[in-house]
Amino acid sequence: MNSGSDSEVKYRLLLVEDDAVIAREIKLHLEKWGYEVRCAEDLGNVLSEFAAYSPHLVLMDIGLPFFNGYYWCSQIRQVSQVPIIFVSSAGDHMNIVMAVNMGGDDFVVKPFEPEVLSAKVLAILRRTYAFRGQTNVMEWGGLILNLADASLLVEGQKLDLTKNEFRILQLLFENAGKTVSREAIMKRLWDNDCFVDDNTLTVNMTRLRKKLEVSGAGKLIRTKKGVGYIIGD
């Protein structure tokens, strides 16, 4: 069976469903259509799974442990406009209205015919990705770096970053677990004729660390004396 996706894009779908039987049936059906489907495992930290997987579309149940689907929809909407389809047995008028108000793109009521779900998935993917879209977020340790608006999400709170602070964090996120030299950071901060010297880098790093400390992420960046900086082990 051919995938409904246009061109050769292998669309990634994140399924947030706490019923293992239903999750498996949905996963198998959509995989037959050529989609890559991941079932969220940590339902207490769906946002981190979203950021790590970077899906093109999310299928979201409403009745979930820890926090409901509306909560996770609102969390995702803080960092991404990726399409979200609610899949729930709570298909009354109020829940459908709530789903739309929280940022959902469509609603499929359980029980449903698998072909109905795949048709809705295909329609939204075609409508959303006339070109190859990206979710534009990076994740480390539960922190979400939004590449679209240069912000960092710390425990649900949005932290606005300056251009240099964002570029520093982006480079460190790209190399999580590896030490990044001061020279490499200064090279990233080079912007046309505006060169950032060693002292300016120190000032920027100090301000960034203070901002992170206030937000509760003060231990994110560690110094490797004489070498550079690192996030992660």
Reported pTM: 0.65
Q: What is the pLDDT of residue 1?
A: 45
Q: What is the pLDDT of residue 100?
A: 83
Strand 106-109 to 84-88 pairing: parallel
Backbone angles phi, psi at 177, to 5 degrees: 90, -5
Dihedral angle over CA of 99, 101, 102, 103, nearest 10: 90
Predicted confidence at residue 136, as pLDDT, reads 78
Residue ranges for the chain with pLDDT beneath 70? 1-9, 91, 130-135, 191-197, 233
**pLDDT of amino acid 2:** 44
Whole-number pLDDT of residue 4: 46
pLDDT at 102: 83
Whole-number Å distance between alpha carbons of 135 and 141: 18
Q: What is the pLDDT of residues 101-142, one digit of tens each?
A: 888 889 888 888 888 899 999 988 888 876 444 567 888 888
Measured between alpha carbons, how far is 213 from 192 in angstroms, rounded to an integer? Answer: 31
CA distances for 122 relative to 24, 118, 215, angstroms:
19, 6, 40
Q: In the 8-state DSSP scheme, what is residue 4? A: S
